[in-house]
Amino acid sequence: MCGIVGYVGKQKAASIILEGLKRLEYRGYDSAGLCILQGGQLDVAKKAGRVEVLVKEAARHRFNGTTGIGHTRWATHGGVTDANAHPHISSDGKFALIHNGVIENYAQMKTFLAGKGYTFKSETDTEVLCNLIAYHYAKEPSDSNGTSRFLESVRKALEHVEGTYGIAVLCVDFPGEMVAAREASPLLLGVGDGEYIVASDASALINRTQNVVYLKDGELVYVTAAGFTITTLGQADVSPVVDRITWSIADAERGSHAHFMEKEIFEQPVALENTMRGRFSEDGSTANFGGLNLSAPELRQIDRFMFCACGSAWHACLVAEHLIERYARLPVEVDYASEFRYRNSPLDRNTLFFVMSQSGETIDTLAALREAKRKGYRVLAINNVVGSSIAREADGGVYQHVGPEIGVASTKAFTSQLLLGAMLALYIARLRDMSFNDGVQYVNALKGAPDLVRQALGQAAHIQAIAKRYARYADFLFLGRLSLFPIALEGALKLKEISYIHAEGYPAAEMKHGPIALISEKCPSVFFVPKGEIFNKIVSSMQEIKARKGKIIAIVTEGCELPAGLADEVIPIPDCHEAVLPIVATVPVQLLSYYIAVVLKCDVDKPRNLAKSVTVE
């Protein structure tokens, strides 16, 4: 939520910051702004609306300075207005601040600062922090003890902050310098050739450098022309570790695709190959998960799993639950991270706790991880973004390796999470009762997943035609059973998120206990109809819908014969192993939602009210 970029270097800062903001826009797109420190002044351009609106506004300024900060906002405190857009300037005109996060005690600070004569132009918590820095600056003697008065003012202000922040600050008295800090909001420093860029994530700076320092909570970075230093709020010096980003600028660009979501849907076969790469044993009978940092004897002690996540990742955990219980015969509990953190869920010593998160920055999932660790549990993470907060705080885990996912609606990260859940089930099962031969069969099935997904993608034109016929319906049901119930939830979420059509996911047989009341010719149902023991049961559920004039779109395993006329539309998917089925079955619902949103001319990659990574509670 909210994207921040700051630049200190030799080039004109404005164009570099605007470029970074375009890449960060998926984090929030209510307003955008930038501030350039030039000619002894803080020159600000900011507007409600997208970065493209800011680009036009910025063209009216003469931005030549080589130091600046920029922000793209997902509104928390205060409406979507020009005044509430960042950067904010302190009322004495000395400081400019951009912020991602929430200052929880801003109201008390605002009262205090108003009493000292500071004034406010916005309704934001951020402007309060900006003035608090100005207040401490006014109180500080000039540079003392060899430390910068600028840095110390920021540090002193942050000592009083309760909440979360990734910030970057400019001071009019310190041209060519910047202070940035983080607490529970992501922030990294790009170390370029004679230039430094702070940003919420690497996509904002990947076009200038692949060398980055991931800042940790409670750290401040002070950037000057001479270099940078990192210290903690408690004034301890930190030795920076420079990491190298492994993906490239092309991964963060849309290429010839109309939307990132489309690009990411079609990238799934390669993404799945990358997720699996090097992760099967030499004998081809199990998975390798060295990153879990647990030996086989330790894993054999585990008698229960707990998974916490949000949104699509939570759906992926539900599939993992099904597969671990089915193949490894161990109980699994799945909780919303936002619920877990406030419940007092009993965990026992032999419970292995997992969090799952594409971004690794979702605040509820991070808080669940911290709560589990506080209770003394070993916490493992399934996560895509290398160096994210969750990756750094977990005791071990598995990276998804699918490259940056920019579309707000999760697609390739979701199927990769399904794959890792299936691999984890295999890994644990092989440590317990699964035979070598069953393991080999399971591994071969997983290795075949990318090709099966390619086949499922081959239905794109057919699904696009269906989408045109169904885009005007206002309500949908998505119905599936067993491991495809979570995919029904995911299908409904995708449709809601990007097309704003009301949709509900339900277990197919449970539908008759309530949601069937919604059924009429105006509410179509999307059914998952896999081959196997429940085929006839699902057909019965379909009959119940048909009897009430409900339209049916059936996603059917090849080789299954539906009674004539039962489904209005049939989307075939290849027959496959149960561990791969959820992955393959996801593809049609991704495409259906995508094409419906396109027909409705929705902003597919930036749906209203949403942001890619939810870093506020």
In the complex, least distance from residue 297 CB atom to ligand M6R, rounded to whole angstroms: 31
Distance CA 535, CA 558 (A): 12
Q: Which of 49-57, 277-285, 352-360, 471-479 is the region at the interface with ligand M6R (rule: CB under 6 A)?
A: 352-360
Nearer to ligand M6R, 38 or 357 (CB): 357
Distance CA 3, CA 260 (A): 18
For this structure, is 2 an active site residue? Answer: yes
Q: Are strands 211-214 and 31-38 parallel, antiparallel or unpaired?
A: unpaired
Q: Does 408 bind ligand M6R (CB under 6 A)?
A: yes
Distance CA 499, CA 597 (A): 5
Sequence-distant contacts of 437-443: CB under 8 A, at least 24 apart: 439/285, 439/286, 440/283, 440/284, 440/285, 441/577, 442/327, 442/577, 442/579, 443/280, 443/284, 443/285, 443/286, 443/287
> For residues 347 and 375, is the Cβ–Cβ distance under 8 A?
yes
Residues 6+ apart with CB under 8 A from 412: 264, 265, 267, 268, 271, 402, 403, 405
Q: Does 153 bind ligand M6R (CB under 6 A)?
A: no
Nearer to ligand M6R, 285 or 586 (CB): 586
For this structure, is 612 an active site residue? Answer: yes
Here the tokens at position 441 are: 């069969």
Q: Which residue among 47, 94, 110, 612 is the active-site one?
A: 612
Q: According to CB under 6 A, which residues from 454 to 493 bind ligand M6R?
A: 493
Candidates 31, 185, 275, 312; binder of ligand M6R (CB under 6 A) is 312
- Residue 51 neighbours by CB distance under 10 Å: 24
Distance CA 588, CA 70 (A): 39
Q: Does 499 bind ligand M6R (CB under 6 A)?
A: no
User: Helix, strand, or coil here: 330?
Assistant: coil
Q: Does 614 bind ligand M6R (CB under 6 A)?
A: yes
Candidates 362, 389, 557, 590; binder of ligand M6R (CB under 6 A) is 362
Nearer to ligand M6R, 153 or 358 (CB): 358
Nearer to ligand M6R, 191 or 597 (CB): 597
Instruction: Determine the residue with CB nearest ligand M6R.
Output: 311
Q: Does 275 bind ligand M6R (CB under 6 A)?
A: no
Here the tokens at position 369 are: 């991880």
Nearer to ligand M6R, 492 or 529 (CB): 492
Here the tokens at position 220 are: 């401040």
Q: Does 410 bind ligand M6R (CB under 6 A)?
A: yes
Q: Does 388 bind ligand M6R (CB under 6 A)?
A: no
Nearer to ligand M6R, 90 or 362 (CB): 362
Candidates 69, 187, 313, 394; binder of ligand M6R (CB under 6 A) is 313
> For residues 432 and 289, is the Cβ–Cβ distance under 8 A?
no
In the complex, least distance from residue 335 CB atom to ligand M6R, rounded to whole angstroms: 14
Candidates 148, 359, 525, 615; binder of ligand M6R (CB under 6 A) is 359
Q: Which of 6-14, 133-141, 359-367, 441-449 is the region at the interface with ligand M6R (rule: CB under 6 A)?
A: 359-367
**How many residues belong to the site for ligand M6R (CB under 6 A)?**
16
Q: Which residue among 2, 35, 308, 602 is the active-site one?
A: 2
Candidates 409, 495, 554, 579; binder of ligand M6R (CB under 6 A) is 409
Residues 6+ apart with CB under 8 A from 440: 283, 284, 285
Distance CA 349, CA 381 (A): 18
Point out which residues bind ligand M6R (CB under 6 A).
310-313, 357-359, 362, 365, 408-410, 493, 497, 613-614
- Which of the residues are catalytic? 2, 612
